[in-house]
Amino acid sequence: MEVQKTALYNYHKNLGAKFVPFAGYEMPIQYKDGIVKEHISTRTHAGFFDVSHMGQFFLEGDESLIESLEKIIPADLKNLKINHSKYSFLLNNEGGIIDDLIITRTEKGFCIILNAACKENDIKQISQFLKKNHKHLLNNDLSLIALQGPKSVEILEKLIPGVANLKFMTGSNFEYEGENLYVTRSGYTGEDGFEISISNTKVEKLIDYLISNEVKPIGLGARDTLRLEAGLCLYGHDLNEKINPVEANLKWAIAKKRKEVGGFNGWEKIKNLLANGSEKIRVGIKPDGKVIARENTKIFSSDNNEIGFVTSGTFGPSVNAPVAMGYVKSEFSKIGTSIQLEVRGKKYGGKISELPFYKKSYVK
């Protein structure tokens, strides 16, 4: 398969981006400043992320569309208001997570933001449940820009008046340069911010504006450290098809009504897990010293029994310490439990920690 590029590829190049192949795309891993500076400037000012590789999947249909989607998505879509968004998943028959996603109710149906690496399979999986009168489109003519950080609102409000009124996990249509643009107050960094769906032909102009307001370009490297500090999962690492939402410690993302009534893929299994708990569960982990416990690091109990593994681990620039997430046997998941992390054949102490590592500041 040919490597794909987002509409901003040349723009990134001119900004000094270092590219890496990611989910079939050439994406910036970092720019000239490097990961730590990019991370800090997002937390203290604002940064923009080109997330146009993610799928923007639009669905249109009558009431039966809700019924179809609720078979594979455990959110309460029936009661989801127009312009409101929810974090949810696509589930397989075993209750495993096919992908995690953000679904927004639109005037005509729904928009689902899908992970780049999963989007083709996701659409196949969703399509199984769609009826003939349901229309769907993966819109590749749109870019997606995340603007994140405490100054985001002030900066974007000057350009697009009205965005400051949006509450976290809601969106609206705005006009920019004579074109429609959809903005949601959301993101994946633990900061206040926005995600802007904008046509490929106008996106450079938007970025020009952001850069003139000292918004820094942020690559995938800092995106990873930011989301990990915020305790957020990365699909393909912290989540996959063999992990269900209960194990992933994401049962809060299954709507209350859906927990009671079910009717979605894997419901039998999830019902049982909700009642009895799971054998393993996702936890936050803080190594005691400076050692970084990266993905696949084995986790041991204080009496040397293997109890789990790390799924994401890095140095958290805002926490100023290493941070990690992983799965442990549920009996070891209590906050403060002492564990050992095997790094390069040597065991280092650590503790089960609260998530997020970095306190969020969403506007509710």
Partner 1 sequence: MSEKKFSKKHEWVSLDGDVATVGITKHATEMLGDIVFVEVPDAGKAVEKEGQAAVVESTKAASDVYSPISGEITEGNKAIADDPGSVNTDPEGASWFFKLKIKDKGEYDSLMSKDEYDKFCKENPS
Smallest distance from partner 1 to CB 326, Å: 17
Q: Rounded to the nearest 5 degrees, what angle is found at the Cα of 152, between the Cα atoms of 208 and 315?
A: 100
Nearer of residues 39 and 105 to partner 1, judged by Cβ: 39
**Which of 322, 327, 341, 352 touches partner 1 by CB under 8 A?**
322
String of contacts with partner 1 for each residue 181-220, x by CB under 8 A: ----------------------------------------
Smallest distance from partner 1 to CB 146, Å: 19
Nearer of residues 109 and 317 to partner 1, judged by Cβ: 317
- Which tokens belong to 154? 């002030």
Q: Rounded to the nearest 5 degrees, what angle is found at the Cα of 146, between the Cα atoms of 180 and 100?
A: 105
Smallest distance from partner 1 to CB 319, Å: 11
Q: Which residue has the tokens 């990134």?
A: 12
Smallest distance from partner 1 to CB 343, Å: 9
String of contacts with partner 1 for each residue 300-319, x by CB under 8 A: --------------xx-x--
String of contacts with partner 1 for each residue 24-43, x by CB under 8 A: -----xx---xxxx------
Nearer of residues 197 and 314 to partner 1, judged by Cβ: 314
Length of the chain: 364
Collect all residues with Cβ–Cβ distance below 8 Å to 244 and sequence separation of at least 6.
91, 94, 95, 96, 97, 266, 269, 270, 273, 278
Collect all residues with Cβ–Cβ distance below 8 Å to 224 and sequence separation of at least 6.
234, 312, 314
**Which of 290, 303, 304, 336 touches partner 1 by CB under 8 A?**
290
Smallest distance from partner 1 to CB 35, Å: 4
Nearer of residues 30 and 56 to partner 1, judged by Cβ: 30
* Chain mean position to CA 28: 17
Nearer of residues 186 and 314 to partner 1, judged by Cβ: 314
- Residues of span 131-160 touching partner 1 by CB under 8 A: none
Smallest distance from partner 1 to CB 36, Å: 4
Cα-based torsion angle of the residue sequence 239, 244, 246, 249 in order, rounded to the nearest 10 degrees: 0
Nearer of residues 41 and 314 to partner 1, judged by Cβ: 314
Nearer of residues 132 and 344 to partner 1, judged by Cβ: 344
Nearest to 222, CA basis, from 42, 18, 355: 42
Nearer of residues 244 and 311 to partner 1, judged by Cβ: 311
What does the radius of gyration of the chain's CA atoms come to, in whole angstroms? 20
**Which of 52, 225, 249, 312 touches partner 1 by CB under 8 A?**
225
Smallest distance from partner 1 to CB 290, Å: 5
Task: Quote the CA–CA distance of 71 and 94 in Å, as a whole number.
Answer: 13
**Which of 164, 211, 291, 319 touches partner 1 by CB under 8 A?**
291
Nearest to 294, CA basis, from 220, 240, 242, 348: 348
Which residues face 212 on adjacent strands? Answer: none
Strands 55-60 and 109-114, sheet pairing = antiparallel
Cα-based torsion angle of the residue sequence 264, 266, 269, 272 in order, rounded to the nearest 10 degrees: -20
String of contacts with partner 1 for each residue 331-360, x by CB under 8 A: -------------x----------------
Helices (H) and strands (E) in the chain, counts: 9, 19
**Which of 74, 95, 96, 221 touches partner 1 by CB under 8 A?**
221
Q: How many residues of this chain bind partner 1 (CB under 8 A)?
A: 17
Task: Quote the CA–CA distance of 236 and 118 in Å, as a whole number.
Answer: 9
Q: Kindly list the residues in this chain that would bind partner 1 in the complex (CB under 8 A).
A: 29-30, 34-37, 221, 225, 290-292, 294, 314-315, 317, 322, 344
